[in-house]
Structure 1
Amino acid sequence: MLKKLTIGFVVIAAGIVLLLSIFGIKEAASLTSSPVDKYISKSSKETVVSKKNNYDTVSNSYNILVMGDSLAKGTGDEKGKGFSGYFADYFRVKNNRNVRLDNIAVNGDVSNGLLQIVKNKDTENLIKKSNMIFISIGGNEVSKFKFEGNVSAADLKDTENKYLNNVRDIFRLIRDNNSKCTIVFIGLYNPFGSSIGTDKIELLNSWNYQTQNIISVDSNAVFIPTYDLFEYDTEKYLTIDNFHPNSSGYKAIAQRIEEVLKNHK
Protein backbone atom coordinates (compact mmCIF):
# COMPACT_ATOMS: atom_id res chain seq x y z
CA MET A 1 0.00 0.00 0.00
CA LEU A 2 2.75 2.43 0.95
CA LYS A 3 4.57 1.53 -2.23
CA LYS A 4 1.50 2.34 -4.36
CA LEU A 5 1.06 5.71 -2.61
CA THR A 6 4.68 6.56 -3.21
CA ILE A 7 4.39 5.78 -6.90
CA GLY A 8 1.22 7.89 -7.09
CA PHE A 9 2.91 10.90 -5.52
CA VAL A 10 5.81 10.55 -7.94
CA VAL A 11 3.44 10.49 -10.93
CA ILE A 12 1.54 13.55 -9.65
CA ALA A 13 4.77 15.44 -8.94
CA ALA A 14 6.07 14.63 -12.41
CA GLY A 15 2.82 15.91 -13.90
CA ILE A 16 3.10 19.17 -11.99
CA VAL A 17 6.69 19.65 -13.13
CA LEU A 18 5.65 18.99 -16.73
CA LEU A 19 2.85 21.57 -16.53
CA LEU A 20 5.18 24.15 -15.01
CA SER A 21 7.72 23.51 -17.73
CA ILE A 22 5.12 23.99 -20.45
CA PHE A 23 3.89 27.21 -18.80
CA GLY A 24 7.43 28.44 -18.44
CA ILE A 25 8.19 27.86 -22.10
CA LYS A 26 5.07 29.76 -23.13
CA GLU A 27 5.91 32.61 -20.78
CA ALA A 28 9.45 32.81 -22.09
CA ALA A 29 8.15 32.92 -25.64
CA SER A 30 5.81 35.78 -24.78
CA LEU A 31 8.70 37.72 -23.27
CA THR A 32 11.00 37.30 -26.24
CA SER A 33 8.30 38.62 -28.60
CA SER A 34 8.03 42.30 -27.67
CA PRO A 35 4.48 43.74 -27.66
CA VAL A 36 5.95 46.75 -29.44
CA ASP A 37 6.62 44.67 -32.55
CA LYS A 38 3.00 44.74 -33.70
CA TYR A 39 3.09 48.54 -33.80
CA ILE A 40 6.23 48.73 -35.99
CA SER A 41 5.57 49.08 -39.70
CA LYS A 42 7.24 46.76 -42.18
CA SER A 43 9.37 49.57 -43.60
CA SER A 44 10.53 50.58 -40.10
CA LYS A 45 11.57 47.01 -39.36
CA GLU A 46 13.59 46.87 -42.57
CA THR A 47 15.38 50.07 -41.58
CA VAL A 48 16.18 48.73 -38.10
CA VAL A 49 17.52 45.50 -39.59
CA SER A 50 19.71 47.36 -42.06
CA LYS A 51 21.15 49.56 -39.32
CA LYS A 52 22.17 46.52 -37.27
CA ASN A 53 24.17 45.04 -40.13
CA ASN A 54 27.33 46.17 -41.83
CA TYR A 55 27.00 47.70 -45.29
CA ASP A 56 28.56 44.73 -47.04
CA THR A 57 26.19 42.22 -45.42
CA VAL A 58 22.92 44.02 -46.22
CA SER A 59 21.40 42.64 -49.39
CA ASN A 60 20.27 45.25 -51.90
CA SER A 61 20.93 48.08 -49.44
CA TYR A 62 20.99 51.73 -50.51
CA ASN A 63 23.22 53.81 -48.23
CA ILE A 64 22.39 57.46 -47.51
CA LEU A 65 24.73 59.71 -45.51
CA VAL A 66 23.44 62.99 -44.05
CA MET A 67 25.87 65.73 -43.01
CA GLY A 68 25.72 69.35 -41.93
CA ASP A 69 23.71 71.46 -39.51
CA SER A 70 20.44 71.23 -37.59
CA LEU A 71 18.40 71.30 -40.80
CA ALA A 72 20.23 68.15 -41.94
CA LYS A 73 19.69 66.65 -38.50
CA GLY A 74 15.93 67.22 -38.71
CA THR A 75 15.64 69.51 -35.69
CA GLY A 76 12.10 70.76 -35.24
CA ASP A 77 10.35 67.82 -36.87
CA GLU A 78 7.68 66.51 -34.52
CA LYS A 79 8.11 63.03 -36.00
CA GLY A 80 11.90 63.06 -35.78
CA LYS A 81 12.46 62.19 -39.44
CA GLY A 82 13.69 65.35 -41.14
CA PHE A 83 13.83 65.63 -44.93
CA SER A 84 16.25 62.70 -45.17
CA GLY A 85 13.88 60.40 -43.28
CA TYR A 86 10.91 61.27 -45.45
CA PHE A 87 13.00 60.86 -48.59
CA ALA A 88 14.26 57.47 -47.36
CA ASP A 89 10.65 56.33 -46.85
CA TYR A 90 9.79 57.41 -50.40
CA PHE A 91 12.90 55.79 -51.90
CA ARG A 92 12.34 52.52 -50.01
CA VAL A 93 8.78 52.13 -51.25
CA LYS A 94 9.45 53.24 -54.83
CA ASN A 95 12.51 51.03 -55.33
CA ASN A 96 11.65 48.19 -52.94
CA ARG A 97 15.09 48.34 -51.36
CA ASN A 98 16.49 48.40 -47.87
CA VAL A 99 17.76 51.87 -46.94
CA ARG A 100 20.53 52.55 -44.47
CA LEU A 101 20.41 56.13 -43.21
CA ASP A 102 23.42 57.51 -41.32
CA ASN A 103 22.86 61.03 -39.98
CA ILE A 104 26.01 62.67 -38.57
CA ALA A 105 24.72 66.24 -38.72
CA VAL A 106 25.49 68.56 -35.79
CA ASN A 107 23.18 71.23 -34.40
CA GLY A 108 24.71 74.69 -34.83
CA ASP A 109 27.43 73.58 -37.21
CA VAL A 110 28.98 75.89 -39.81
CA SER A 111 30.89 75.14 -43.00
CA ASN A 112 34.31 74.99 -41.34
CA GLY A 113 32.99 72.55 -38.75
CA LEU A 114 31.57 70.32 -41.47
CA LEU A 115 34.90 70.45 -43.30
CA GLN A 116 36.64 69.08 -40.20
CA ILE A 117 34.06 66.29 -39.94
CA VAL A 118 34.57 65.32 -43.58
CA LYS A 119 38.31 65.07 -42.91
CA ASN A 120 37.70 62.56 -40.11
CA LYS A 121 38.68 58.96 -40.88
CA ASP A 122 35.36 57.56 -39.65
CA THR A 123 33.52 59.94 -41.96
CA GLU A 124 35.73 58.92 -44.85
CA ASN A 125 34.64 55.31 -44.37
CA LEU A 126 30.98 56.34 -44.40
CA ILE A 127 31.52 58.42 -47.55
CA LYS A 128 33.16 55.51 -49.35
CA LYS A 129 30.12 53.28 -48.69
CA SER A 130 27.49 55.89 -49.59
CA ASN A 131 25.21 55.81 -52.61
CA MET A 132 23.83 59.26 -51.82
CA ILE A 133 25.01 62.11 -49.57
CA PHE A 134 22.77 64.90 -48.27
CA ILE A 135 24.40 68.17 -47.21
CA SER A 136 22.81 71.18 -45.51
CA ILE A 137 25.17 73.91 -44.31
CA GLY A 138 25.43 77.70 -44.20
CA GLY A 139 22.22 78.55 -42.38
CA ASN A 140 23.99 79.31 -39.11
CA GLU A 141 26.49 81.56 -40.84
CA VAL A 142 23.70 83.55 -42.44
CA SER A 143 21.40 83.61 -39.41
CA LYS A 144 23.82 85.57 -37.23
CA PHE A 145 23.50 88.59 -39.51
CA LYS A 146 19.94 89.12 -38.31
CA PHE A 147 21.26 89.83 -34.83
CA GLU A 148 24.52 91.58 -35.71
CA GLY A 149 23.38 94.88 -37.18
CA ASN A 150 26.85 96.42 -37.08
CA VAL A 151 28.47 93.84 -39.35
CA SER A 152 30.07 95.61 -42.30
CA ALA A 153 29.60 94.65 -45.93
CA ALA A 154 33.28 93.65 -46.03
CA ASP A 155 32.79 91.26 -43.09
CA LEU A 156 29.74 89.73 -44.75
CA LYS A 157 31.65 89.19 -47.98
CA ASP A 158 34.59 87.68 -46.10
CA THR A 159 32.26 85.23 -44.36
CA GLU A 160 30.68 84.31 -47.68
CA ASN A 161 34.07 83.69 -49.30
CA LYS A 162 35.22 81.45 -46.45
CA TYR A 163 31.97 79.51 -46.69
CA LEU A 164 32.31 79.01 -50.44
CA ASN A 165 35.93 77.86 -50.09
CA ASN A 166 34.86 75.39 -47.41
CA VAL A 167 32.13 74.03 -49.69
CA ARG A 168 34.66 73.53 -52.48
CA ASP A 169 36.99 71.66 -50.10
CA ILE A 170 34.12 69.54 -48.78
CA PHE A 171 33.18 68.49 -52.31
CA ARG A 172 36.80 67.78 -53.20
CA LEU A 173 37.27 65.53 -50.17
CA ILE A 174 34.02 63.69 -50.84
CA ARG A 175 35.03 63.02 -54.43
CA ASP A 176 38.48 61.87 -53.33
CA ASN A 177 36.73 59.09 -51.41
CA ASN A 178 33.72 58.44 -53.61
CA SER A 179 33.48 59.51 -57.24
CA LYS A 180 30.15 57.83 -57.98
CA CYS A 181 27.71 58.79 -55.21
CA THR A 182 25.01 61.39 -55.80
CA ILE A 183 25.49 64.53 -53.70
CA VAL A 184 22.34 66.46 -52.80
CA PHE A 185 22.94 69.97 -51.45
CA ILE A 186 20.03 71.74 -49.71
CA GLY A 187 19.77 75.44 -50.50
CA LEU A 188 19.05 78.16 -47.93
CA TYR A 189 15.67 79.71 -47.21
CA ASN A 190 14.75 82.91 -45.38
CA PRO A 191 13.01 82.16 -42.06
CA PHE A 192 12.97 85.82 -41.01
CA GLY A 193 10.60 87.18 -43.64
CA SER A 194 10.56 90.95 -43.92
CA SER A 195 12.21 91.40 -40.50
CA ILE A 196 15.62 91.56 -42.20
CA GLY A 197 16.65 94.21 -44.71
CA THR A 198 16.96 93.81 -48.44
CA ASP A 199 20.75 93.80 -48.13
CA LYS A 200 20.60 90.63 -46.02
CA ILE A 201 18.15 89.03 -48.43
CA GLU A 202 20.51 89.84 -51.28
CA LEU A 203 23.31 88.18 -49.32
CA LEU A 204 21.20 85.06 -48.87
CA ASN A 205 20.39 84.96 -52.57
CA SER A 206 24.06 85.48 -53.40
CA TRP A 207 25.08 82.54 -51.20
CA ASN A 208 22.52 80.31 -52.89
CA TYR A 209 23.64 81.43 -56.34
CA GLN A 210 27.36 81.01 -55.65
CA THR A 211 26.79 77.64 -53.99
CA GLN A 212 24.75 76.44 -56.93
CA ASN A 213 27.57 77.45 -59.28
CA ILE A 214 30.03 75.29 -57.32
CA ILE A 215 27.69 72.32 -57.33
CA SER A 216 26.87 72.64 -61.04
CA VAL A 217 30.48 71.77 -61.87
CA ASP A 218 29.91 68.28 -60.42
CA SER A 219 27.92 66.20 -62.92
CA ASN A 220 26.53 63.94 -60.21
CA ALA A 221 25.50 66.61 -57.71
CA VAL A 222 22.25 68.57 -57.46
CA PHE A 223 21.26 71.80 -55.73
CA ILE A 224 17.84 71.79 -54.07
CA PRO A 225 16.28 75.28 -54.00
CA THR A 226 14.12 75.87 -50.92
CA TYR A 227 13.79 79.66 -50.86
CA ASP A 228 10.54 79.65 -52.82
CA LEU A 229 9.08 76.87 -50.66
CA PHE A 230 9.26 78.98 -47.52
CA GLU A 231 8.87 82.47 -48.98
CA TYR A 232 5.10 82.56 -48.61
CA ASP A 233 4.53 79.65 -46.22
CA THR A 234 6.77 80.37 -43.23
CA GLU A 235 3.85 80.10 -40.77
CA LYS A 236 2.83 76.78 -42.29
CA TYR A 237 6.29 75.26 -42.59
CA LEU A 238 8.25 76.54 -39.55
CA THR A 239 8.18 75.24 -36.00
CA ILE A 240 7.59 77.44 -32.94
CA ASP A 241 11.19 78.70 -32.95
CA ASN A 242 10.45 80.38 -36.31
CA PHE A 243 13.70 79.07 -37.72
CA HIS A 244 13.61 75.29 -38.19
CA PRO A 245 11.06 73.50 -40.39
CA ASN A 246 8.27 71.51 -38.80
CA SER A 247 7.10 68.15 -40.14
CA SER A 248 5.24 69.80 -43.03
CA GLY A 249 8.31 71.88 -43.92
CA TYR A 250 10.61 68.88 -43.98
CA LYS A 251 8.12 66.93 -46.09
CA ALA A 252 8.03 69.83 -48.56
CA ILE A 253 11.85 69.72 -48.83
CA ALA A 254 11.78 65.93 -49.31
CA GLN A 255 9.20 66.29 -52.08
CA ARG A 256 11.35 68.92 -53.75
CA ILE A 257 14.32 66.53 -53.60
CA GLU A 258 12.21 63.84 -55.27
CA GLU A 259 11.20 66.25 -58.04
CA VAL A 260 14.76 67.41 -58.74
CA LEU A 261 16.22 63.89 -58.74
CA LYS A 262 13.59 62.67 -61.21
CA ASN A 263 15.02 65.12 -63.74
CA HIS A 264 18.63 64.43 -62.79
CA LYS A 265 20.53 62.16 -65.16
Structure 2
Amino acid sequence: MYKKFKWRVILTISIITAVVLIVGFVSAIFITGTSSAKNAFKAEDNKQVSNNNKKEDKVKEVDNKSYNILVMGDSLAKGTGDEKGKGFAGDFADLWKAKETKTVKVTNVSVIGDTSSGLVNIASEEQTLKYIEGSNIILISIGGNEIKNFTNFDSTSTDSNSNAFKITQEKYLNNLKNVFKAIRSKNSKCMIIFVGLYNPFGKNLASDKINLLDNWNYETNKIVSSDSKSIFIPTYDLFKYNTDNYLAIDKFHPNGKGYDAISKRIFEALNNYKD
Protein backbone atom coordinates (compact mmCIF):
# COMPACT_ATOMS: atom_id res chain seq x y z
CA MET A 1 0.00 0.00 0.00
CA TYR A 2 2.80 2.35 0.94
CA LYS A 3 4.71 1.56 -2.27
CA LYS A 4 1.68 2.36 -4.45
CA PHE A 5 1.20 5.67 -2.66
CA LYS A 6 4.91 6.47 -3.10
CA TRP A 7 4.79 5.88 -6.87
CA ARG A 8 1.65 7.99 -7.22
CA VAL A 9 3.40 10.90 -5.49
CA ILE A 10 6.45 10.52 -7.74
CA LEU A 11 4.25 10.36 -10.86
CA THR A 12 2.30 13.49 -9.79
CA ILE A 13 5.52 15.44 -9.19
CA SER A 14 6.85 14.35 -12.59
CA ILE A 15 3.68 15.52 -14.36
CA ILE A 16 3.75 18.90 -12.59
CA THR A 17 7.46 19.36 -13.47
CA ALA A 18 6.78 18.54 -17.13
CA VAL A 19 3.91 21.05 -17.25
CA VAL A 20 6.09 23.77 -15.72
CA LEU A 21 8.86 23.11 -18.26
CA ILE A 22 6.42 23.24 -21.18
CA VAL A 23 4.86 26.51 -19.97
CA GLY A 24 8.33 28.03 -19.49
CA PHE A 25 9.41 26.98 -22.97
CA VAL A 26 6.29 28.46 -24.58
CA SER A 27 6.72 31.70 -22.61
CA ALA A 28 10.34 31.96 -23.69
CA ILE A 29 9.33 31.59 -27.33
CA PHE A 30 6.66 34.28 -26.93
CA ILE A 31 9.04 36.71 -25.21
CA THR A 32 11.75 36.12 -27.81
CA GLY A 33 9.24 36.65 -30.60
CA THR A 34 7.96 39.86 -29.01
CA SER A 35 11.50 41.14 -28.49
CA SER A 36 12.37 40.36 -32.10
CA ALA A 37 9.27 42.20 -33.26
CA LYS A 38 10.17 45.22 -31.17
CA ASN A 39 13.70 45.19 -32.55
CA ALA A 40 12.30 44.93 -36.05
CA PHE A 41 10.04 47.94 -35.46
CA LYS A 42 12.95 49.83 -33.92
CA ALA A 43 15.15 49.06 -36.91
CA GLU A 44 12.39 50.25 -39.21
CA ASP A 45 12.06 53.46 -37.17
CA ASN A 46 15.81 54.04 -37.42
CA LYS A 47 15.63 53.40 -41.14
CA GLN A 48 12.85 55.98 -41.42
CA VAL A 49 14.90 58.55 -39.46
CA SER A 50 17.86 57.85 -41.72
CA ASN A 51 15.68 58.33 -44.80
CA ASN A 52 14.38 61.61 -43.39
CA ASN A 53 17.95 62.80 -42.88
CA LYS A 54 18.76 61.90 -46.46
CA LYS A 55 15.84 64.01 -47.61
CA GLU A 56 17.19 66.95 -45.64
CA ASP A 57 20.61 66.48 -47.26
CA LYS A 58 19.17 67.07 -50.73
CA VAL A 59 20.22 70.24 -52.50
CA LYS A 60 17.97 73.11 -51.53
CA GLU A 61 16.67 75.39 -54.25
CA VAL A 62 17.87 79.00 -54.13
CA ASP A 63 15.15 81.64 -53.99
CA ASN A 64 15.99 83.88 -56.97
CA LYS A 65 13.37 86.41 -55.88
CA SER A 66 15.40 87.19 -52.75
CA TYR A 67 18.68 89.01 -52.22
CA ASN A 68 20.91 86.09 -51.23
CA ILE A 69 23.96 86.35 -48.98
CA LEU A 70 26.20 83.29 -48.66
CA VAL A 71 28.62 82.98 -45.73
CA MET A 72 31.63 80.67 -45.94
CA GLY A 73 34.61 79.94 -43.71
CA ASP A 74 35.40 79.22 -40.09
CA SER A 75 34.06 80.00 -36.60
CA LEU A 76 34.47 83.74 -37.20
CA ALA A 77 32.15 83.46 -40.21
CA LYS A 78 29.83 81.38 -38.04
CA GLY A 79 29.62 84.12 -35.43
CA THR A 80 31.23 82.28 -32.51
CA GLY A 81 31.49 84.54 -29.48
CA ASP A 82 28.57 86.79 -30.33
CA GLU A 83 26.07 86.97 -27.48
CA LYS A 84 23.33 87.80 -30.00
CA GLY A 85 24.19 84.79 -32.16
CA LYS A 86 24.33 86.85 -35.37
CA GLY A 87 28.01 87.38 -36.11
CA PHE A 88 29.15 89.89 -38.71
CA ALA A 89 26.98 88.19 -41.37
CA GLY A 90 23.77 88.66 -39.41
CA ASP A 91 24.65 92.21 -38.41
CA PHE A 92 25.54 93.10 -42.00
CA ALA A 93 22.28 91.58 -43.30
CA ASP A 94 20.34 93.81 -40.89
CA LEU A 95 22.14 96.87 -42.24
CA TRP A 96 21.68 95.79 -45.86
CA LYS A 97 17.93 95.24 -45.45
CA ALA A 98 17.48 98.99 -45.03
CA LYS A 99 18.64 99.68 -48.58
CA GLU A 100 17.44 96.53 -50.36
CA THR A 101 13.90 96.22 -51.73
CA LYS A 102 14.06 92.42 -51.94
CA THR A 103 13.90 90.09 -48.96
CA VAL A 104 17.44 89.51 -47.71
CA LYS A 105 18.25 85.87 -46.97
CA VAL A 106 21.44 84.58 -45.34
CA THR A 107 22.79 81.06 -45.89
CA ASN A 108 25.73 80.08 -43.71
CA VAL A 109 27.83 77.03 -44.67
CA SER A 110 30.73 77.91 -42.36
CA VAL A 111 32.38 75.18 -40.30
CA ILE A 112 33.78 75.86 -36.83
CA GLY A 113 37.49 75.03 -36.75
CA ASP A 114 37.81 74.93 -40.53
CA THR A 115 40.94 75.84 -42.49
CA SER A 116 41.43 76.87 -46.11
CA SER A 117 41.76 73.21 -47.13
CA GLY A 118 38.34 72.49 -45.65
CA LEU A 119 36.91 75.54 -47.36
CA VAL A 120 38.09 74.26 -50.75
CA ASN A 121 36.12 71.06 -50.11
CA ILE A 122 33.02 72.98 -48.97
CA ALA A 123 33.19 75.29 -52.01
CA SER A 124 33.25 72.31 -54.39
CA GLU A 125 30.21 70.54 -52.91
CA GLU A 126 27.08 70.36 -55.06
CA GLN A 127 24.89 72.15 -52.54
CA THR A 128 27.40 74.96 -51.99
CA LEU A 129 27.78 75.45 -55.75
CA LYS A 130 24.00 75.89 -55.96
CA TYR A 131 24.17 78.53 -53.26
CA ILE A 132 27.08 80.25 -55.00
CA GLU A 133 25.18 80.32 -58.28
CA GLY A 134 22.26 82.18 -56.71
CA SER A 135 24.21 84.51 -54.41
CA ASN A 136 24.41 88.28 -54.69
CA ILE A 137 27.07 88.62 -51.99
CA ILE A 138 29.48 86.04 -50.60
CA LEU A 139 31.14 86.72 -47.23
CA ILE A 140 34.31 84.79 -46.41
CA SER A 141 36.46 84.50 -43.29
CA ILE A 142 39.24 81.89 -43.25
CA GLY A 143 42.84 81.53 -42.09
CA GLY A 144 42.54 82.17 -38.37
CA ASN A 145 42.84 78.49 -37.48
CA GLU A 146 45.92 78.13 -39.64
CA ILE A 147 47.91 80.81 -37.87
CA LYS A 148 46.42 80.75 -34.37
CA ASN A 149 49.58 78.99 -33.24
CA PHE A 150 51.92 81.21 -35.22
CA THR A 151 53.27 82.67 -31.98
CA ASN A 152 55.57 79.62 -32.09
CA PHE A 153 56.99 80.66 -35.45
CA ASP A 154 60.17 82.74 -35.68
CA SER A 155 60.17 84.99 -38.73
CA THR A 156 63.82 85.97 -38.20
CA SER A 157 65.07 82.40 -38.23
CA THR A 158 65.87 80.08 -41.10
CA ASP A 159 65.08 76.97 -39.10
CA SER A 160 62.18 74.55 -39.50
CA ASN A 161 59.74 76.85 -37.63
CA SER A 162 60.21 79.61 -40.19
CA ASN A 163 59.86 77.12 -43.05
CA ALA A 164 56.72 75.67 -41.46
CA PHE A 165 55.10 79.11 -41.52
CA LYS A 166 56.03 79.65 -45.17
CA ILE A 167 54.65 76.24 -46.12
CA THR A 168 51.43 76.93 -44.22
CA GLN A 169 51.05 80.32 -45.89
CA GLU A 170 51.75 79.04 -49.41
CA LYS A 171 49.22 76.24 -49.00
CA TYR A 172 46.65 78.70 -47.68
CA LEU A 173 47.16 81.14 -50.57
CA ASN A 174 46.86 78.35 -53.12
CA ASN A 175 43.66 77.12 -51.45
CA LEU A 176 42.27 80.65 -51.49
CA LYS A 177 42.88 80.89 -55.23
CA ASN A 178 41.01 77.62 -55.73
CA VAL A 179 38.06 78.87 -53.66
CA PHE A 180 37.83 81.96 -55.86
CA LYS A 181 38.01 79.77 -58.97
CA ALA A 182 35.14 77.61 -57.67
CA ILE A 183 33.04 80.69 -56.97
CA ARG A 184 33.69 82.33 -60.33
CA SER A 185 33.02 79.10 -62.20
CA LYS A 186 29.40 79.41 -61.04
CA ASN A 187 28.92 83.13 -60.52
CA SER A 188 30.87 85.92 -62.23
CA LYS A 189 28.69 88.77 -60.99
CA CYS A 190 28.40 88.38 -57.22
CA MET A 191 30.42 90.48 -54.80
CA ILE A 192 32.97 88.59 -52.73
CA ILE A 193 33.78 90.13 -49.36
CA PHE A 194 36.84 88.72 -47.61
CA VAL A 195 37.33 89.56 -43.92
CA GLY A 196 40.99 89.98 -42.97
CA LEU A 197 42.62 88.81 -39.75
CA TYR A 198 43.14 90.83 -36.58
CA ASN A 199 45.50 90.38 -33.64
CA PRO A 200 43.64 88.86 -30.66
CA PHE A 201 46.78 88.78 -28.49
CA GLY A 202 47.12 92.55 -28.11
CA LYS A 203 50.42 93.83 -26.69
CA ASN A 204 51.48 90.28 -25.83
CA LEU A 205 52.30 89.64 -29.47
CA ALA A 206 55.93 90.28 -30.35
CA SER A 207 56.77 92.63 -33.23
CA ASP A 208 58.14 89.84 -35.44
CA LYS A 209 54.84 87.95 -35.08
CA ILE A 210 52.94 91.11 -35.97
CA ASN A 211 55.05 91.25 -39.13
CA LEU A 212 53.96 87.70 -39.97
CA LEU A 213 50.32 88.66 -39.49
CA ASP A 214 50.75 91.79 -41.61
CA ASN A 215 52.35 89.75 -44.37
CA TRP A 216 49.55 87.18 -44.19
CA ASN A 217 46.94 89.89 -44.67
CA TYR A 218 49.00 91.57 -47.40
CA GLU A 219 49.33 88.40 -49.47
CA THR A 220 45.64 87.63 -48.95
CA ASN A 221 44.69 91.11 -50.07
CA LYS A 222 46.69 90.68 -53.28
CA ILE A 223 44.63 87.62 -54.24
CA VAL A 224 41.33 89.23 -53.28
CA SER A 225 42.16 92.47 -55.12
CA SER A 226 43.04 90.57 -58.29
CA ASP A 227 39.32 89.86 -58.62
CA SER A 228 37.53 92.96 -59.90
CA LYS A 229 34.35 92.30 -57.90
CA SER A 230 35.97 91.45 -54.57
CA ILE A 231 36.77 93.55 -51.52
CA PHE A 232 39.28 92.85 -48.75
CA ILE A 233 38.04 94.09 -45.36
CA PRO A 234 40.90 94.96 -42.98
CA THR A 235 40.08 94.35 -39.32
CA TYR A 236 43.52 94.72 -37.72
CA ASP A 237 43.07 98.41 -36.96
CA LEU A 238 39.56 97.86 -35.59
CA PHE A 239 40.84 95.56 -32.86
CA LYS A 240 44.24 97.18 -32.25
CA TYR A 241 42.88 99.75 -29.82
CA ASN A 242 39.72 97.87 -28.81
CA THR A 243 40.99 94.40 -27.95
CA ASP A 244 39.38 94.31 -24.50
CA ASN A 245 36.07 95.74 -25.75
CA TYR A 246 35.78 93.70 -28.93
CA LEU A 247 36.81 90.19 -27.84
CA ALA A 248 34.60 87.49 -26.36
CA ILE A 249 35.30 85.64 -23.10
CA ASP A 250 37.60 83.21 -24.94
CA LYS A 251 39.87 86.17 -25.82
CA PHE A 252 40.08 85.01 -29.42
CA HIS A 253 36.73 85.48 -31.17
CA PRO A 254 34.92 88.83 -31.41
CA ASN A 255 32.01 89.58 -29.11
CA GLY A 256 28.83 91.34 -30.22
CA LYS A 257 30.56 94.74 -30.38
CA GLY A 258 33.46 93.31 -32.36
CA TYR A 259 31.18 91.68 -34.93
CA ASP A 260 29.13 94.85 -35.17
CA ALA A 261 32.27 96.86 -35.96
CA ILE A 262 33.21 94.39 -38.72
CA SER A 263 29.72 94.44 -40.23
CA LYS A 264 29.67 98.24 -40.35
CA ARG A 265 33.01 98.28 -42.16
CA ILE A 266 31.68 95.77 -44.71
CA PHE A 267 28.60 97.92 -45.21
CA GLU A 268 30.68 101.07 -45.69
CA ALA A 269 33.03 99.32 -48.13
CA LEU A 270 30.12 98.16 -50.30
CA ASN A 271 28.53 101.60 -50.22
CA ASN A 272 31.78 103.14 -51.44
CA TYR A 273 32.45 100.40 -54.01
CA LYS A 274 32.60 101.53 -57.63
CA ASP A 275 32.55 98.93 -60.38
Normalised TM-score (structure 1): 0.76
AA matched with 1:143: K
1:97 shift after superposition: 2.5
**Separation in 2 of the partners of 1:178 and 1:96?**
22
**Separation in 2 of the partners of 1:217 and 1:192?**
30
Which residue among 119, 122, 126 is the counterpart of 1:121? 126
Which residue among 241, 249, 252 is the counterpart of 2:258? 249
Q: Is the aligned partner of 1:132 residue 2:137?
A: yes
Q: Find the counterpart in structure 2 of residue 185 from structure 1.
A: 194
Q: Which moved more, 1:140-149 or 1:185-194?
A: 140-149
Which of 1 and 2 has greater Rg?
2
Aligned length: 211
**Separation in 2 of the partners of 1:55 and 1:157?**
39
Q: Find the counterpart in structure 1 of residue 100 from structure 2.
A: 95
Q: Is the 8 A contact 1:145 1:151 kept in 2?
A: no
1:148 shift after superposition: 6.6
Q: Is the 8 A contact 2:67 2:136 kept in 1?
A: yes
**Separation in 2 of the partners of 1:166 and 1:178?**
18
Normalised TM-score (structure 2): 0.74
Q: Which moved more, 1:131-140 or 1:187-196?
A: 187-196
1:147 shift after superposition: 5.5
Q: Is the aligned partner of 1:64 residue 2:69?
A: yes
Which residue among 103, 106, 125 is the counterpart of 2:111? 106
* RMSD (Å) for aligned C-alpha atoms: 1.6
Q: Is the aligned partner of 1:204 residue 2:229?
A: no
Q: Which runs of 5+ in 1 are unaligned?
A: 1-52
1:54 shift after superposition: 4.7
Classify the secondary structure of the residue corresponding to 2:199.
coil
User: 1:214-253 counterparts in 2 under 5 A?
Assistant: 214-253=223-262
**Separation in 1 of the partners of 2:176 and 2:153?**
24
Q: Which runs of 5+ in 2 are unaligned?
A: 1-59
Give CA-to-partner distance per residue, 1:199-256, whole Å, 9 cap, x none.
2111110010011111111110000000000001000000111000000000000000
Q: Is the aligned partner of 1:164 residue 2:149?
A: no
Which residue among 150, 154, 170 is the counterpart of 1:145? 150
**Separation in 1 of the partners of 2:223 and 2:247?**
28
Q: Find the counterpart in structure 2 of residue 6 from structure 1.
A: none
Q: Find the counterpart in structure 2 of residue 55 from structure 1.
A: 62
AA matched with 2:271: K
Classify the secondary structure of the residue corresponding to 1:212.
helix
Give CA-to-partner distance per residue, 1:173-219, whole Å, 9 cap, x none.
11001111100000000001122222211111001001111111111
Q: Is the 8 A contact 1:226 1:253 kept in 2?
A: yes
- Stretches of 4+ moved more than 6 A in 1? 148-151
